[in-house]
Amino acid sequence: MQNFWLWFSTGLEHITDLGGYDHILFVTLLSISYTFSSWKKLLVMITAFTLGHSISLALSVIGNLNINTALIEFLIAFSIFITAVYHLRLKENSNAKWVYVIVVLFGLIHGTGFSYLLKAMLGKEEAIAGPLLYFNLGLEAGQLFIVLAVLSLNLAMSYVKAIPFRVYKIVVVSLIGVIALKMCVERITSL
């Protein structure tokens, strides 16, 4: 059980760490258009992201995926920027199925970013299935925490009559887009 908590808490801390705010920004963007009443649609979106990052985490940890870390860090920032731009151009009630494919692809990128920490911690350990599963469960718990925080803020803002929800969403998405663009510029120099 101690092994479970070590890896679970590492995954949880990794996604909720303010130093790694890029993950928080991306999950916020995935959640910003939803309310508690549309939780089923949000669940599909978050599951698509989880599927992508779970696959790349597993492939990377077992050694079948090895990509330049600077490139991955740039692609993570770029995926956040592209997602922010998509939200700003999104028509209300848009339900494009291809968005889920894009979210899976972005999950693959983000999972590769997660994997470097996990691989470094595993070292020469032989049994990786348990730590990989526990780390991923920690990531998912952290992701759920972020989603619930965003949904709660969305709910609170829907009751603020002075600021229409659409304006709130545009402001949040625009701020995230600017932060992501800044990250892209900073990270492109590392390539």
Tell whether 149 is covered by a domain: yes
Tell whether 2 is covered by a domain: no
Tell whether 130 is covered by a domain: yes
pLDDT confidence of residue 60? 81
Cβ count within 10 A of residue 24: 20
pLDDT confidence of residue 93? 52
Tell whether 106 is covered by a domain: yes
**Number of domains within the chain:** 1
For the chain, 191 residues long, give each residue's pLDDT as a single digit of tens: 668 898 899 889 888 888 889 989 999 999 998 889 988 888 888 888 988 988 888 888 777 677 888 999 999 999 999 999 998 887 655 566 778 888 999 999 988 887 777 777 777 766 778 888 888 899 889 999 999 999 999 999 988 888 898 899 999 999 999 999 999 999 998 87
Give, in degrees to the nearest 5, the angle at Cα 140 between 99 and 12.
135
> pLDDT tens digits for 118-145?
777 777 766 778 888 888 899 889 999 9
Tell whether 144 is covered by a domain: yes
Burial class (CB in 10 A: 0-12, 13-18, 19+), 100: middle
State residue 97 phi and psi, 5-degree precision: -70, -30
Q: Please give the single-letter amino acid code of residue 171.
A: V
Tell whether 160 is covered by a domain: yes
CA distance 38 to 155: 12
pLDDT confidence of residue 91? 62
Domain that holds residue 46: 35-188
CA distance 111 to 143: 13
Tell whether 69 is covered by a domain: yes
pTM: 0.89
CA distance 11 to 23: 12
Burial class (CB in 10 A: 0-12, 13-18, 19+), 152: exposed
CA distance 4 to 37: 33
Tell whether 1 is covered by a domain: no
